[in-house]
Each structure stands twice: as structure tokens, then as C-alpha cells.
Amino acid sequence: MSQVEQLSATSAAGVLLDLSGVLILLAAFACLGSKLLNRYVAYYGAQSVVLSFAAAVAAVTFHSVELWILAGLTLALKGIGIPLATRRLLVQRLELKRDVAMSTGLSTALIAGGALTAFAYLVTRPQLLPHGLVANAVVPLSTAVILLGGLAMVVRRHTVAQLIGWLIVENGVFLGAITLVATFPFIVEAGIFLDIVAGVLIMLAFVSGITRQLAEASSTELRELRG
């Protein structure tokens, strides 16, 4: 019973951040394990919505207006904008519903994801964490999300799916950043955020152009374009 008492001593914000971290990890796993492209995008959207909630919690905890702005931006752009744009581009215009093109099997990808998560826990031992952190579990969780996003980029063949893998990496970085370094200069964080989002949107437009010409966006086929 002493463990339970110790748990209730944690702050409410820490518990909420830990919980959002877990949900974000679950969404990353769901992305990794879903074969249909529209579901993959929907899980990414759900992950971003949870992330914006986490940012709002951090904003309340650290009394920071900038984090509120970032939470709003995350919700609007990553939670709603990118999933909608991708859906419109892929599912409606290109009539692409499936992405079965994976370079490994689904179970291999999931097992690799589990191994990466275990690795994230191994490298972020509780003893090594700085004292006075709001949410301890977020550190390994965000590391795991970064690794899982990287894994999604590796195992997916479709270029748009790889782009969203990159966005999952970015979500992991953002989650770690709002918990660990709340004093991070706002302008840097927002700059990086907008850079990545703008980059992804440009690449989405670019890929859609290529796809219309080649009717194919698998990275194995795109290699043919080399000069």
C-alpha cells in the first residue's frame, strides 16, 4: 500500500502528462500496425490531438502563454489540417485506400517497435533523469515515439506514409520538449514547428504532382528518377 500513497503524491499535471505520453505511444503503435492508409493518417491525427492536450497541460503548469499558442497550432495544423489534407489528396483525389507496401511484414514491424520501446526504456533509466521533473514517464515515452516514427519511415514504402512517419518523430520531439525544457525559447520552438509543417506540406504537394505523372509513389519506384 505504501506504493499507492507514493503515487498520489505526484502532481495532477504530471499524471496527465504521463497519460498523454502513453496515449501518444499507443497511437504511434497503431500507426505502425495499421495497413490501411486512411486509418494510418487518422491515428496520426488522434496522436496530434492528444499532443496538443499535453501542451495545454504544460501551459497551465508552467504559466506560459507561448505554450498555449503552440497547443492551438498543434491542434489546428497537425490534429486537423494535415490529416484532412492527406485524406483529400490520397483517398479522394488519387483514390488510394490501401498501403500494403511495407518492406517487412506487419508482425516484424510490431516486434521491432517493441524492441525499440524497450531500448528507449533502457537508455532512459530513472536514475539518470534530472530531479524535479514534472512527468518521469514522458522521457522514455517520447524517446520511444521518436524511434517508432523512424521505424515507420523505414518500413513504409509509400512516400506520403514516410512523410507522416517523419511527423510522428516530430511529435515525439515536441512531447519531450514541452516536458523537459519548458523554458526553451518560444521563437525557436515555433520556428522549428512551422518549418517542419511547411516542409511536409510542400512535399505533399510535390508527391501529388509526381504521383499524377507516374501513378506511383513507392520509394522503390521513385529511385528510377535519379539522373
Give the residues lining the site for another protein (CB under 8 A). 1-8, 10, 15-16, 18-19, 21-23, 25-26, 29, 33, 106-107, 110-111, 113-114, 117-118, 121, 124-126, 136-137, 139-141, 144
Nearer to another protein, 16 or 67 (CB): 16
User: What's the rounded Cα separation, in Å, for the pair 46 and 51?
Assistant: 9
- Which residues make Cβ contacts (< 8 Å) with residue 34, sequence separation at least 6? 40, 43
Classified as helix, coil or strand, 84 is helix
Nearest alpha-carbon partner for 137 in 181, 167, 182, 180: 180
* Residues 50/56, Cβ–Cβ less than 8 Å: no
CB of residue 122 to another protein, shortest distance in Å: 9
188: cell is 525557436
Radius of gyration (Cα) for the chain, nearest Å? 18
Q: Which is nearer to another protein, 109 or 200 (CB)?
A: 109
Supply the DSSP symbol for 93. I
Q: Which is nearer to another protein, 13 or 201 (CB)?
A: 13
Q: Measured from the CB atom, is 70 or 168 closer to another protein? A: 168
Nearer to another protein by C-beta: 73 or 120?
Answer: 120
Could you tell me the smallest distance in angstroms from the CB atom of residue 67 to another protein?
A: 21
Instruction: Please check whether residue 58 is in contact with residue 158, taking contact to mean a CB–CB distance below 8 angstroms.
Output: no
Q: How far is the CB of 204 from another protein (least distance, A)?
A: 27
Minimal distance in Å, beta carbon 121 to another protein? 5
Pair 205, 94: CB distance under 8 Å:
no
From the CB of 3, what's the least distance to another protein, in Å? 5
